[in-house]
Structure 1
Amino acid sequence: MEQKYHVPALDRANAVLTVLRDEPYRWKLSDLSKMIGISKSTLHSLLATMERLQWVSRDRNETYAIGSAIGRFGSAFFQQFDLSEDFRRLAEPVMRNLQESIQLAVLEGSDVQYLAKVEAPSPVQMVSGPGVRFPAHATGLGKALMADMNEQQICNLYPEESLPKITVHTIGSREALIHELKNVRKAGYAMDIQEGVMGFCCTAAPIRKANGEIAAAISCSMPIHHWEGKKERALEEIVQLAQRLSHL
C-alpha cells in the first residue's frame, strides 16, 4: 500500500499487541519501550488509549496483556467462518432449486468481500468466489449490506459525490445511492440489474445479528436471459434464506 496511507500509531499498536500476544502480563511500559523501540512518553499515551479502548489491560503490577476488545474482534472473525459453514449447508438446496449461484459477503470499507459461494452447474459464472472484492455501490450485496446506513455514514464512506461507474447501469452518484438505500431499507432486499457485471442480475438480502445489526448479506446471481423467468422466485428464496441465517 502507498506510503501516504501509512499510520505510524497503528503500526506501534500492532507491535505492542504482537508482544503481548505471546507473553501476557510480563512486560511493563519500560520493557515494552525498549523492546519495540518507542519512547516512554509516546508509549505511555499509546497504552493509555489502548487501555481505554480495551485493546490492552493492565494489572496491579503495571504489566500488560491483550484486552477484552481484541478477544471480541477475534470472536467476530471466527464467527464469519461459522456463518460460512451454515451458509453452505442452507444455500445448497436453494441453489439446486433455482439452478443459480448463491453468494455470501461482508462489507469491507466501500467494498464487498465475498466469503463463500455455492456455485450452480452453469458454464457462465460471475467471478465472485471467496476473497474477491468488488465496489459495494455496484452490487446488490453491497446495497443490502449498506441498507441501514444513514446519510452521514454514506458520506463518510464516499467522500466524493461522484461514484465510479463499473457498467453503464452502475449508480453514479452518492445522492442516487442514498435514495436507492432508502428503498432497499423499506423493501428488505436489494437488486442489481447489470450494475456490476454486464449480462448479470442479482437479488440480495441482509443477514442480521440478534441485535438487528447487519452482519453479512447473501445474493443470487444469474445471467440476464434467466432474470425475467426467475427473479420473483429468486427474491423469495433469498429473503427466506437470509432470515434462516439471521441470529444463528
Structure 2
Amino acid sequence: MGRLVPAVTRALDILELFLETDGTLSAPDITRRLQLPRTTVHELVTTLTARNYLVQPADQPGRYRLGVRGYQLGSRYAEQLDLAAEGRQVARSIAETCDETVHVAVLEGRDVIYIAKVDSTHAVRMVSAAGRRLPAHCTSVGKMLLASLSDEELESRLGGPEPLAAMTPDSITSPEVLRTALREIRERGVAVEQRESNPDVSCVAAPVRDSSGEVVAALSVSVPMIRWSEERRAELEELAVKGAADLSGRLGHRRGL
C-alpha cells in the first residue's frame, strides 16, 4: 500500500465536513472542526474553490458550500453503479456472517424479481435462483417493497377486493390483511415472512435506498424452519438491516434522508 498524501487527505476531510451540514462553512469553522492551521485551511479552501469543489455564495462572503464538481463526480459514479453487482457483494458478506441464503430483489408490478443471491453452505437450505419471479405479497422482500409504496400506488397494484394468489396455506390472500401487515412493516422497518412462499422456509427483509432516499430494492435472509426461532429471527433482522444499510450506502444513500 502506498503512502497517504497529507495535503490530499486534509482536502478530502474538508469536503467531507459538508456531509455533516446542509448549510455553509467558514474557514474558521473548518479550522476549528479539523484542528488544522489557519494558513493550511486557507490554502486548501482556495485550491478547492479554484477547482469548483467549493464556491462562495454571493450573499455570504467568507463562507463556502459545495460546488458543482462534486455533483458531477457523484453523478458519474451513480451512472456506473450496478445494483445487482453491488447486491451480490453485500449479500456475500451477510451470508458469510450467518451462513444462510441471502437475496436482493426489486419490485415489478405485483411481483418481485431476485437480482442477486448467495447460498448458505448448509445441506438444508432454500432453493432459488437469481432471476426468479414470485408474488410480492408472499415474500418478505416483496412485502418490504410493497410497504414502501404510497397508498395510491399500492392500491393500483393490488387492484380490487379479489383474493390474492396463495403459494402455501400460510400465504396472505386477503388484501385487507395485507394492508394491515404492510402498515406494521412501515412502522418496524423490517418485514418477516413465515412459510408464506415455501412451507419449509421463513425470511426477514429490510429496505435498500438510493441516493434520493427512495426504496429501490430489499435484502432478505432466508432460513429453513429447522433453524428458525424467535431468537434467530431477531439476529437475522439485525443482519438484514445492516446488509440493506451497507447496500444503500453503496448506492449513495445517506442516513437521515
Contact 2:146-2:182 at 8 Å conserved across structures: yes
Q: 1:187 deviation in Å?
A: 0.5
Contact 1:202-1:222 at 8 Å conserved across structures: yes
**Residue 184 (structure 2) aligns with:** 183
SS in 2 for 1:246: helix
Residues 1:235 and 2:210 are matched in the alignment: no
**Residue 244 (structure 1) aligns with:** 246
Q: Which whole-Å deviations, capped at 9, do the CAs of 1:15-74 have from their partners, x for residues lacking one?
A: xxxxxxxxxxxxxxxxxxxxxxxxxxxxxxxxxxxxxxxxxxxxxxxxxxxxxxxxxxxx
1:38-187 counterparts in 2 under 5 A? 79=81, 82-161=82-161, 162-187=163-188
Contact 1:203-1:221 at 8 Å conserved across structures: yes
Contact 1:193-1:202 at 8 Å conserved across structures: yes
The letter of the residue matching 1:234 is L
| CA RMSD across the alignment | 2.0
Contact 2:105-2:116 at 8 Å conserved across structures: yes
The 10-residue stretch of structure 1 (197-206 or 117-126) with the greater mean CA deviation from structure 2: 117-126
Q: 1:123 to 1:160 in 2, by over 3 A?
A: farther
Q: 1:87 deviation in Å?
A: 2.1
SS in 1 for 2:147: coil
The letter of the residue matching 2:241 is V
Contact 1:155-1:174 at 8 Å conserved across structures: no
**Residue 214 (structure 2) aligns with:** 213
Q: 1:145 to 1:94 in 2, by over 3 A?
A: same
Question: Counterparts of 2:105 and 2:80 in 1: how far apart (Å)?
Answer: 15
Q: 1:93 deviation in Å?
A: 2.8
Question: Counterparts of 2:131 and 2:248 in 1: how far apart (Å)?
Answer: 22
Structure 1 runs of 4+ off > 3 angstroms?
75-79
Question: Which 5+ residue runs of structure 1 have no aligned equivalent?
Answer: 1-74
Question: Counterparts of 1:135 and 1:124 in 2: how far apart (Å)?
Answer: 24
The 10-residue stretch of structure 1 (105-114 or 92-101) with the greater mean CA deviation from structure 2: 92-101
Identity of aligned residues (%): 35
Question: Counterparts of 1:194 and 1:76 in 2: how far apart (Å)?
Answer: 37
The letter of the residue matching 1:98 is C
The letter of the residue matching 2:235 is R
SS in 2 for 1:89: helix
The letter of the residue matching 1:108 is E
Q: 1:191 deviation in Å?
A: 0.3
TM-score (norm 2): 0.63
Question: Counterparts of 1:212 and 1:93 in 2: how far apart (Å)?
Answer: 23
Q: 1:77 to 1:139 in 2, by over 3 A?
A: farther
Question: Counterparts of 1:182 and 1:243 in 2: how far apart (Å)?
Answer: 21
Structure number with larger C-alpha Rg: 2
Question: Counterparts of 1:128 and 1:154 in 2: how far apart (Å)?
Answer: 26
Q: 1:85 deviation in Å?
A: 2.0
Question: Counterparts of 2:205 and 2:168 in 1: how far apart (Å)?
Answer: 19
Q: 1:76 deviation in Å?
A: 9.0
Q: 1:192 deviation in Å?
A: 0.3
Question: Which 5+ residue runs of structure 2 have no aligned equivalent?
Answer: 1-76, 252-257
Contact 1:103-1:128 at 8 Å conserved across structures: no
Question: Counterparts of 1:174 and 1:121 in 2: how far apart (Å)?
Answer: 36
Question: Counterparts of 1:77 and 1:163 in 2: how far apart (Å)?
Answer: 37
Question: Counterparts of 2:179 and 2:80 in 1: how far apart (Å)?
Answer: 32
Contact 2:100-2:125 at 8 Å conserved across structures: no
